[in-house]
Structures are given as structure tokens and as C-alpha cells.
Amino acid sequence: MNYRPLFNNNEWDLFRSAPFNIQVLVSQADDERELEEIGPLLDILMSYSGNSFIEEVFQDTFTDTDTEEGENRLLIEPREALNQITAAVNLIKDKTVKKSIPEDTLDIFCDQLLKIAEETAEADIEGLEDQEESIIKLLKQKFS
């Protein structure tokens, strides 16, 4: 199914931004962004298979990484990134209630975002640091 037509541009951009925003939150937590930390995001976007809505969002997000708009997504302030993630999650909640997207979408979407967060933190040269662990705990609270 093609889910893109079910959403306006702002809504779709919230979904596409969520993986980037997770990566930004975790990689900026220690005030040092390393190039290695982008790898897990790209790997997950390229390899995810399962829920058809998430597949479509992730494929579109990955395609967007090569554009100027995609690169600019990595320049967002952490507070705004968190606000956009929250908005995307709330929108998915609303759409699953209305049966516009598969019922399991919210849980899978949050699981994939947490996977991006955890793998980004593990890719840090210094390993998992307190600041990154704190962000991951905050995300788990927001997603539960």
C-alpha cells in the first residue's frame, strides 16, 4: 500500500525526520558528533523489512539523505528534535486509532527508533556514555 497520500507534507516530514532526530539527540548528547555515529541510522533505514508503513517511511527517509534537505535535518536543535519525535509518535497513535495504518505500527516504529538510538550510542568511539544513556532512557519513557 502507498501510505504517503494519506498524510499532508508536514505530517510526512515528521515521520521522515524522526530517524534523523533520534540520531541527532543521541550523537549530540556528549557534545561531540562523530562520523561513525551516522552508520547505524543508514544501516537500519536501508535494511528494515516488516511493517509496510515503516518500510515506506524509512525508504523515503533514506532517499532523502542524499539531498540538501536531508543533510539539513542533522542540524536541528535537540529540543526541537525531541518535539518532532513526540509529534510523529502522537500522529501515529492517532492514525492507528483511526485504522489508517496497521495496528502494530506504533510499537514497531518506537522499537526501530530505539534501535537507532542504541546503535548510534554504541557506535560512539568512547562507547555508551552517561549522556547518551540518559537520552535513551528518556526516549523509552516517552515511548511507553
Tell me: pLDDT of 24 over 60: yes
Give the whole-angstrom CA distance, residue 4 versus residue 74: 23
**Distance from CA of residue 140 to its chain's centroid?**
13
Q: Is 125:36 a contact under the CB 8 Å cutoff?
A: yes
pLDDT at 32 over 70: no
Q: Count the alpha carbons within 13 Å of 58 in the hemisphere toward its beta carbon.
A: 22
pLDDT of residue 1 exceeding 80, the answer is: no
Average pLDDT, the chain: 86
Share of the chain above pLDDT 70, in %: 84
Give dist(CA 89, CA 80) in Å, integer.
14
In tens, the pLDDT along 64-108 reads 766 666 556 567 888 899 999 999 999 999 988 888 898 999 999
* pTM to 2 decimal places: 0.87
Residue 34 sits at φ, ψ, to 5 deg, of -105, 145
pLDDT at 66: 64
